[in-house]
Amino acid sequence: MEPASGQPELPLSLLYAGVTVVLGAAVIHRLLRQELQMGVPAALSLLLLLLAGWVCFVALPGYPGLCIFSLACLLSYCTLPDSELLSVQDKAILITGCDSGFGFALAKYLDKLGFTVFAGVLYLDGPGAKDLKTSGSNRLMVLQLDVTSLEQITKSYAQVKSQLKNRGLWALVNNAGILEFVADAELLPMSTYKHCMDVNFFGAVELTKMFLPLLRQAKGRLVNISSMAGTTPLLGFAAYGASKAALSMFSNVLRQELAIWGVKVATIQPSAFKTGIFGTTDQWSNQHTQIMQQLSPDVRKDYGENYIIAFRGKYGKWQASLQDELQPVLNDISIALIAKNPKSHYSPGTAANFFPFIYRYLPTRLSDFIFYHLLKSGQDVPDGVKEIGL
């Protein structure tokens, strides 16, 4: 069949092949110029794109399928990770929560890379702060910084600005965070919700608002350490997950608003790494005692002593499931800091991609079933559920 112009119409399969060839040529061109960071995730996304092209060709015959495939190719190409890295020379970074975990490891890692590092700690005389002072270079400065204290945030701003003179601050890494206790949302006291929001969200917002003038001056970066729990509903993590979800949304809005200032915003959403955020067995025992004391008689009766006590025994199981090696997180944060065109989101850790995939793409009933059986860890059901036979 020929169109009205009399020219033969190109076969649809040839047009699909043409789009695929153009995409492949563009990717190869950037690879040859060493402008792409082609890791496993990027390679898998391109393979899935080819599969999507076949699905469009079969399920959406005609030009609608071709248009969708072409748009998918364009979006995929634009979101491929850029490997062009900026120099670290004369770049200063403020990191919160450097007493332990990600913050402590990141302060050391970035110091070795050559950054000027301001490491905010909760305890200036704590072991983490002392280690950073003794093992760091003369470019690393340890600051007293409780992110829930406006007074300390203001003082830190004055110290950083004084040290930088007129350079501006290249990056702020909002890393400070707490988990508190893992238990059913109904069992957690309001103090736990408020504390998580104060540290994980409001503290990051307060600090960001304070330091944004210095970030705008440097046209730098804002990197917020959120969590997989901020995008995926995980049993027992209602307080922590809600605070991290708020931080993720805050980051997404700021990314759009700060683009006109030349400030780039990235969100890091790690899965389960061993950072000390779970606290110690003594801390869990104390928190468990506080929870038991504040429960109303009705709630205590409905859940039962054994069900509530079981959460305290989860500590060892959670700790055993955490990843020891923090380098995947450090790598993603450093790329977010020095890549010319960083991604908006980084998800280090296997579960950080697997769990959100289950939640987003599987039917809700199926994903709820999977999460329940993955996370309940052999835990019994509440007494009230047993009584009514659910």
Residues annotated as part of the active site: 240
Instruction: Report the largest interatomic distance among the alpha carbons of the chain, rounded to a whole angstrom.
Output: 85
| Residue 244 near residue 230 (C-beta atoms within 8 A) | yes
| Residue 218 near residue 169 (C-beta atoms within 8 A) | yes
| Residue 229 near residue 244 (C-beta atoms within 8 A) | yes
| Residue 329 near residue 348 (C-beta atoms within 8 A) | yes
36 vs 82: CA distance, rounded Å = 5
Helix, strand, coil % over all residues of the chain, rounded to 5: 60, 10, 30
Would you tell me how many other CB atoms lie within 10 Å of the CB of residue 185? Answer: 14
Q: Which one-letter amino acid corresponds to residue 356? A: P
Would you tell me how many other CB atoms lie within 10 Å of the CB of residue 274? Answer: 16
| SS3 (DSSP) at 115 | coil
Exposed / middle / buried, residue 14 (Cβ in 10 Å: 0-12, 13-18, 19+):
exposed
170 closest CA partner among 226, 244, 113: 113
